[in-house]
Amino acid sequence: MALLPILHHPDPRLRKKTAPVQQFDQKLQKLIDDMFETMYAAPGVGLAANQVGVQLRLSVMDCSDEHDQPIVMINPEMVGSDDPQDMEEGCLSLPDIRDKVQRYNKVKLRALDRNGKPFELEAEGLMAQCIQHEIDHLDGKLYIDYLSSLKRERIKKKLLKAVASGQ
């Protein structure tokens, strides 16, 4: 397994809509394993393929404290949602920046697992939030897109300052 570099905003690859996964081969299995290793090391609870420069509709997540509940979501789609709430959110592609966004507290997901087998999952709380966040990534969206233009501009300035200072 290998740690993959995580792209940071404003890298344009984060804004591209990803392509559906069609081949379930060894290359995909290695990518999934590397994504889990990268996510755990970051540390994070979710990571989309385009965050590591791969334009496939693939995301991994694990919202457990013990890192023992890994979930692979391939070609995911939300098929239900309920109970919108303001939730604090962060992102590995926007280091050290957090803000409140509105997410559904309950969602129903339909996706394929790492072997191409279809599954459905009902989630709430952090897991529901993570599912929405990762699907947004696969659609080329970031959580900051839900913020006001003023807040987005402040975040942009903070990121540019961090890059200029070499952080």
Number of residues written out for the chain = 167
Say if CB 21 and CB 73 are below 8 A apart.
Answer: no
Selected catalytic residue, list 88, 124, 134, 153: 134
Q: Which of 92, 17, 93, 25 is nearest to 55 (CA)?
A: 17
Q: Which two tokens stand for residue 74?
A: 């391939």
88 carries an active-site annotation: no
Say if CB 117 and CB 134 are below 8 A apart.
Answer: no
CB atoms within 10 A of CB 107: 23
Strand blocks (E) in the chain: 46-48, 58-61, 71-91, 94-112, 118-124
With a CB cutoff of 8 Å and minimum separation 6, the contacts of 147 are 99, 101, 155
d(C-alpha 61, C-alpha 50), whole Å: 14
Q: Which residues are catalytic?
A: 134
